[in-house]
Amino acid sequence: MITYNKKQIWPASVLLFIALVLFVAGCKEVQELFEVPQPPVLSSEGIILSKDRVFPQDTIQACIKADNPLSGPLQFEWWASGGQFVMPNDKDTVYWVAPQNGGNFTIYVRVSNSSSSVETHKDIFVSSTALPLVDISIPLEGSYFSLGQNI
């Protein structure tokens, strides 16, 4: 029969206790490693614009509706392929100033929570005022228009 005295058991008990405390404390971190990310849920409408067609330097409102499946705040990051945002531009609703040149542009948003993030975008057309809306041409030499003639 093996006998142990208190001097032999005490160090082993302390080491066992410390190992148990470290294991329990580490469980939260291990659990976080295996948790499935839960990104924000965006509305099916996506980015809502106050106008889909604008003129250069027009200002429009852009809005995104999002829910957080986790408790806590959401972070918003907006950017565009042209134009600029009026500060603050880190909310769910922002204001975008169209660029001076016309064309198709894209407005993007990334919505993040403590777990993950999700992105979406929306296209917008900026009408160019640099080109005339009407092309006025003069008749070629030898051609003429008669009164009542369809052009």
pLDDT per residue, tens digit, the chain (151 aa), is: 566 665 666 676 777 777 666 666 665 555 555 667 899 999 999 999 999 889 999 999 999 999 999 888 999 999 999 999 999 999 999 999 999 998 999 999 999 999 899 999 999 999 987 665 565 566 666 666 666 666 6
Sequence-ordered list of residues with C-beta below 8 angstroms from that of 96, at least 6 positions apart, any chain: 59, 60, 61, 62, 78, 80, 83, 84, 85, 86, 107
Q: Would you give the DSSP letter of residue 13? A: H
| 90 lies in the same domain as 106 | yes
The domain tally of the chain equals 2
In a domain, 84, yes or no: yes
Q: Where in the sequence is the domain holding 95, given as residue range(s)?
A: 41-126
Beta-bridge partner residues of 79: 108
**1, 18, 81, 109, 112 from 8: Cα distances, Å:** 16, 17, 72, 64, 54
Centre a 10 Å sphere on the Cβ of residue 39 and count the other Cβ atoms it contains: 17
What CATH number is given to the structural domain containing 76? 2.60.40.10
Cα distances (angstroms) measured from residue 131 to each of 56, 79, 128, 134: 13, 27, 7, 9
pTM, rounded to two decimals: 0.65
Q: Verify that 102 and 45 share a domain, yes or no.
A: yes
